[in-house]
């Protein structure tokens, strides 16, 4: 590998690390200052528009509760479950009250993600 390639790789690593630090600072500020509706909005934006239209989001304690507005079907359910799981959430099976939930504050691989 040439010196130029090594320098480029190091530059990209430095930019990535700086971005991570900035994102953590922004998340910490939002966690402390943002009203609940902003936190719910941030979580809703994790979902593509077509899936978001099928869901209702509400804040409850340390969770954002995600309930279907209609029957999801197996394909949409699987897509939603994947996004929820990637964000440290879970599915709660409770008959008609079944729902997904994502913590407003979830531990990620490299630190804390605040919603």
Could you report the per-residue pLDDT of 7-25, keeping only the tens digit for each?
A: 999 999 999 999 888 988 8
The count of structural domains within the chain is 2
Q: Are residues 86 and 48 in the same domain?
A: yes
Are residues 78 and 27 part of one domain?
no
Kindly state the average pLDDT of the residues 75-94.
96
88-112 residue pLDDT tens = 999 999 998 999 999 986 444 344 4
**Separation between Cα atoms, residue 84 and residue 25, nearest integer Å:** 23
Q: Which DSSP string do the residues of 103-115 spell out, in sequence order? A: ESEEE-SSSEEE-
CB 66 within 8 A of CB 56: yes
Tell whether 42 and 89 lie within a shared domain: yes
CB atoms closer than 10 angstroms to residue 100: 23
Q: What is the CATH number of the domain that holds 72?
A: 3.30.1360
The set of residues, in sequence order, having a beta carbon less than 8 Å from that of 70 and lying 6+ positions away, is 54
Q: Look at residue 38 in the predicted model and tell me its pLDDT.
A: 64
**pTM here?**
0.62
| pLDDT for 64 beyond 90 | yes
Containing domain of residue 103, as a range? 35-114
Distance between CA 110 and CA 108 in Å, rounded?
6
Burial 18-49 (b: 16+ CB within 10 A, else e): eeeeeebeebeeeeeebeeeebbebbbebbee
If asked whether residues 44 and 28 sit together in one domain, one would say: no
Q: Do 23 and 43 belong to one domain?
A: no
Looking at per-residue pLDDT, the higher value among 73 and 62 belongs to 73
Tell whether 24 and 41 lie within a shared domain: no
- Are 5 and 15 found together in one domain? yes
């Amino acid at each position: 590998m040439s010196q130029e390639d090594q320098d480029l790789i190091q530059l990209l690593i430095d930019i990535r690390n700086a971005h991570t630090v900035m994102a953590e600072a922004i998340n910490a500020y939002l966690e402390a200052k943002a009203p609940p509706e902003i936190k719910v909005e941030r979580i809703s934006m994790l979902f593509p528009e077509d899936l978001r239209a099928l869901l209702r989001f509400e804040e409850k304690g340390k969770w954002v509760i995600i309930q279907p507005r209609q029957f999801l079907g197996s394909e949409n359910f699987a897509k939603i479950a994947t996004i929820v799981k990637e964000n440290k959430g879970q599915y709660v099976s409770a008959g008609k009250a079944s729902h997904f939930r994502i913590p407003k504050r979830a531990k990620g691989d490299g630190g804390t993600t605040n919603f």
